[in-house]
Amino acid sequence: MEMKVTQAPSVPMEWRRRKAKKHLSEKVIESMIKIGGFSSIIFIIAILFFILKEAFPFLIGAFDFKEFFSSTEWNPASVVKIKYGTLAILVGTIMVTALSMLIAVPLGIACAFFISEFCSPKLRETYKILIEFLAAIPSVVWGFIAIMMINPMIIELFNVPIGLNILNASLILALMSLPLIVSVGEDALRAVPESYREAAEAMGATKWEVATRVLLPAAKNGLMAAALLGVGRALGETMAVLMATGHAIQIPESVFEPGRTLTATIAAELGESPKGGEHYQALFAIGLMLFIISFIVNFSADYLIRGRRK
């Protein structure tokens, strides 16, 4: 302890010397980091530009606003009349995303509460690893589970003709977005200062009361952001929903009917049309639509996170 005190005055001088010596390398590193930071913005703009460029000839050409948004018939390979109506696909996307979030958000947030507040440190570590393992399963495997396991289960449990439907896809998506919701939600709960918990406990609050009356309001924004990031995850998933929804073009009358999503449509059909064809461009128009939807979702998530910090 004493030695440190005696050495203390020489330290700043040492630093100054080192700083002068490393001035150039520091500058290089600094600018590299700057480039790294800006590059992500450039990528986003480049992606948007690319999508716009590919979709543009369709938007000014064969694009029919009324058909695109109000027709339920998406039939690019028709031999009678080619139609690009996205209504059924859009409704399918919204239904799948909404239902999956209805399942995943309460579950994920409850799970985040459990991990951060209620379980022992040892259990917490194993638990977190297990939850994160869910995120490591490839989506094709999820799709296979949807067809081979959940499909017959839904047919039997609910006595319906087909088990590849909105419910099936929502279950799969809920499981897939759970790890994200849990880990972001847990971070939000950990960010609540320890003094809040201590103060509440000092006043005689039970653990349950601390969680529901103190932590929930304090971490509200962060938890909302976790939910919205989950929405983004569910919205963007491709392969698993392609297999689990049944990929049928129709407006699902209930959660037990098959449907189709925007992402799955692009995934299944983009390889088909030669580059630059009308169908290819129409798929990019769908891509643009998805880009705008996910932008709105991410923007609101970001807004909520910033709201928390204020």
By C-beta, is 57 or 107 nearer to another protein?
57
What is the DSSP secondary-structure string of 138-181?
A: -HHHHHHHIIIIIHHHHHHHHT-S-SSSHHHHHHHHHHHHHHHH
Indicate the residue among 224 and 255 with the shorter CB distance to another protein.
255
Does position 131 interact with another protein (CB under 8 A)? The reply is no
Q: 15 vs 4, 12, 26, 149, 240, CA distance in Å?
A: 16, 5, 14, 63, 55
What is the dihedral sign for C-alpha 247, 249, 251, 252?
Answer: negative
Residue with smaller CB distance to another protein, 80 or 202: 80
List all residues 6 or more positions away from 68 whose beta carbon is below 8 Å from its beta carbon.
84, 85, 86, 285
**Secondary structure of residue 84 in the 3-state scheme:** strand
Amino acid at 253: E
Stretches 48-56, 72-80, 201-209, 225-233: which one binds another protein (CB under 8 A)? Answer: 72-80
Name which of 59 and 160 has its Cβ closer to another protein: 160
Q: Give the Cα separation of 162 and 248 in Å (integer).
A: 12
Q: Tokens in use for 15? A: 């630093």
| Residue 269 in the binding site for another protein (CB under 8 A) | yes
Q: Is 92 an interacting residue with respect to another protein (CB under 8 A)?
A: no
3-state secondary structure 132-149: HHHHHCCHHHHHHHHHHH
Q: Is position 87 an interface residue for another protein (rule: CB under 8 A)?
A: no
Q: Tell me which stretch binds another protein (CB under 8 A): 12-20, 152-160, 170-178, 216-224.
A: 152-160
Q: Which residues between 11 and 70 bind another protein (CB under 8 A)?
A: none
Q: Does 75 interact with another protein (rule: CB under 8 A)?
A: yes
Helices vs strands, H then E, count in the chain:
16, 2
Dist. CA 262–CA 69, nearest whole Å: 13
Contact between 73 and another protein by CB under 8 A: the answer reads: yes
Residue ranges in 154-183 that form contacts with another protein under rule CB under 8 A: 155, 159-164
Tell me the CA distances in angstroms from 70 to 64, 73, 118, 298, one per residue in order. Answer: 10, 9, 49, 26
Alpha-carbon distance of 241 to 35, in angstroms, equals 36
Please say which residue, 178 or 283, places its beta carbon nearer to another protein: 283
The residue among 250 and 300 lying less far from another protein, judged by its C-beta, is: 250
Tell me which stretch binds another protein (CB under 8 A): 74-82, 98-106, 118-126, 290-298: 74-82
**Region near another protein per CB under 8 A, out of 19-27, 48-56, 143-151, 286-294:** 143-151
Task: Compute the least distance from the CB of residue 193 to another protein, in Å.
Answer: 50
Residue 253 binds another protein (CB under 8 A): no
- Of the candidate spans 76-84, 201-209, 222-230, 302-310, the one that interacts with another protein by CB under 8 A turns out to be 76-84
Binds another protein (CB under 8 A): choice among 179, 222, 246, 287:
246
Pick the stretch among 96-104, 122-130, 211-219, 271-279 that binds another protein (CB under 8 A): 271-279
Binding site for another protein (CB under 8 A): 73-80, 147-148, 151-152, 155, 159-164, 242-243, 246-250, 258, 260, 268-269, 271-275
